[in-house]
């Protein structure tokens, strides 16, 4: 049975094009709006309104990549009455304008080259800075993973990260990282990865994993520890909006909603484990949507 938050997120994903109010969303969760708001924020880290906004931008990314609808039509389809407001919000969240995102996808470039992304705002030297370091752990049932992680100002992977890194991990071999030059304050360290499982069946061979809960306090001149453990996505995970480079498999959309009801592959108990399928093959990565296969 789905939890109230899962019911609410499912309703938002199904009805994102409609003018949903907090009352509408709370009603789908069968809770009062005041109690629902607290429960939802505790579970996701953001308000229902911010979650709905993230779903709308994600769905716009999906439409830009998989349909021939105009940018204006897409902005209306995801609930925006102003094309200018939609374009600004999309560009701030994804790092590319809607038109440029579509051109990159249609050109066959699945890895977004760094020069195409607007430069991240530079941190003035006078702003106190610190670092975050730790490791990213891969569950035992996965053979290898290519990982992207970054430091974000919000729980949502959107806008430019203050720092980022690309890592590779294997079974029993966590990937170590160190993000430097992060302004002092509260930051959210988030990771996304494409991982190969030890299951030999082709339909379970590659999965989208995520990691990162809560925030970390960055102290000037110090290194703050943060250990991340990758796991399959859940219905209540926030959509991935920023155009994450160098990861996603060419032409692939995430079977996200299907994965939510499909059992995760179990680790092998007998016989030799499948050989790791990484280093990565082929042109890896679109600007990260939730990579849904259509």
CATH for 157: 2.60.40
Average pLDDT, integer, range 231-256: 68
Q: Do the domain assignments include residue 278?
A: no
Instruction: Report pLDDT for 117.
Output: 57
Q: Tell me which DSSP letter residue 246 carries.
A: S
Q: Based on the domain organization, do 154 and 101 belong to the same domain?
A: no
Q: Based on the domain organization, do 244 and 140 belong to the same domain?
A: yes
Taking CA atoms, 251 is separated from 242, 283, 292, in Å, by 18, 10, 10
CATH number at 54 reads 1.10.10.60
Q: Do the domain assignments include residue 139?
A: yes
Average pLDDT, integer, range 259-286: 34
Pairing of β 223-225 and β 129-137: parallel
Lowest-pLDDT choice from 83-87, 130-134, 166-170 = 166-170
Q: Based on the domain organization, do 99 and 140 belong to the same domain?
A: no
For the chain, the helix, strand and coil percentages under 3-state DSSP, each to the nearest 5 = 30, 20, 45
Length of the chain: 294
Q: Do the domain assignments include residue 294?
A: no
Q: Do the domain assignments include residue 280?
A: no
- pLDDT-derived band at 20 (thresholds 50, 70, 90) equals very high
Q: Based on the domain organization, do 91 and 145 belong to the same domain?
A: no
Tens of pLDDT, residue by residue over 153-176, are 999 999 989 999 999 988 888 999
Q: Based on the domain organization, do 159 and 100 belong to the same domain?
A: no
Q: Do the domain assignments include residue 271?
A: no
Q: Based on the domain organization, do 149 and 218 belong to the same domain?
A: yes
pLDDT above 90 covers a percentage of the chain that reads 59
Q: Do the domain assignments include residue 283?
A: no
The torsion of the CA quartet 22, 26, 31, 35, rounded to 10 degrees, works out to -40
Cα–Cα distance, 92 to 144 (Å, whole number): 32
Owner of token pair 């800075």? 129
Average pLDDT, integer, range 48-74: 95
Overall pTM surpassing 0.85 (yes/no)? no
Q: Do the domain assignments include residue 55?
A: yes
Q: Based on the domain organization, do 152 and 248 belong to the same domain?
A: yes
> What is the number of domains present in the chain?
2
Q: Based on the domain organization, do 101 and 141 belong to the same domain?
A: no
Write down the number of H helices and E strands in the chain: 8, 10
Q: Based on the domain organization, do 17 and 105 belong to the same domain?
A: yes
Q: Based on the domain organization, do 46 and 140 belong to the same domain?
A: no
Q: Based on the domain organization, do 105 and 162 belong to the same domain?
A: no
Q: Based on the domain organization, do 142 and 105 belong to the same domain?
A: no
Q: Are the C-beta atoms of residues 156 and 241 closer than 8 Å to each other?
A: yes
Domain boundary among 74, 109, 144: 109
Structure tokens at 168: 């590779």
Cα–Cα distance, 270 to 260 (Å, whole number): 27
Q: Are the C-beta atoms of residues 112 and 243 closer than 8 Å to each other?
A: yes
16 φ/ψ angles, rounded to the nearest 5 degrees: -60, -25
Tally Cβ neighbours within 10 Å of residue 140: 13
Residue numbers of the domain that contains 74: 4-109
Answer yes or no: is pLDDT of 290 > 60: no
Average pLDDT, integer, range 103-114: 63
Q: Do the domain assignments include residue 221?
A: yes
Answer yes or no: is pLDDT of 10 > 70: yes
């Amino acid at each position: 049975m789905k939890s109230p938050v899962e019911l609410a997120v499912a309703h938002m994903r199904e009805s994102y094009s409609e003018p949903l109010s907090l009352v509408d969303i709370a009603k789908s969760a069968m809770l009062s709006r005041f109690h629902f708001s607290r429960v939802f924020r505790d579970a996701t880290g953001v308000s229902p309104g911010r979650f709905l906004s993230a779903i709308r931008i994600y769905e716009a990314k999906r439409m830009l990549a998989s349909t021939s609808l105009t940018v204006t039509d897409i902005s209306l389809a995801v609930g925006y009455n102003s094309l200018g407001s939609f374009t600004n919000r999309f560009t701030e969240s994804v790092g590319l304008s809607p038109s440029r995102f579509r051109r990159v996808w249609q050109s066959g470039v699945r890895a977004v080259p760094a020069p195409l992304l607007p430069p991240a705002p530079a941190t003035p030297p006078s702003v106190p800075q610190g670092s975050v370091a730790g490791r990213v752990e891969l569950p035992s049932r996965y053979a290898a993973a290519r990982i992207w992680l970054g430091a974000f100002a919000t729980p949502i992977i959107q806008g430019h990260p203050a720092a980022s890194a690309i890592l590779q991990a294997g079974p029993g071999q966590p990937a170590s990282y160190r993000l430097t030059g992060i302004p002092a304050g509260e930051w959210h360290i988030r990771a996304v990865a494409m991982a190969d499982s030890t299951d030999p069946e082709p339909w379970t061979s590659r999965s989208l994993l995520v990691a990162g809960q809560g925030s970390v306090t960055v102290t000037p001149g110090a290194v703050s520890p943060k250990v991340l453990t990758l796991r399959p996505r859940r219905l209540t995970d926030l959509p991935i909006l920023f155009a994450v480079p160098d990861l996603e498999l060419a032409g692939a959309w995430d079977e996200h909603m299907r994965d939510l009801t499909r059992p995760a592959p179990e680790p092998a108990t007998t016989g030799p484990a499948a050989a790791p399928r990484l280093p990565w093959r082929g042109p890896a990565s679109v600007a990260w949507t939730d990579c849904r296969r259509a």
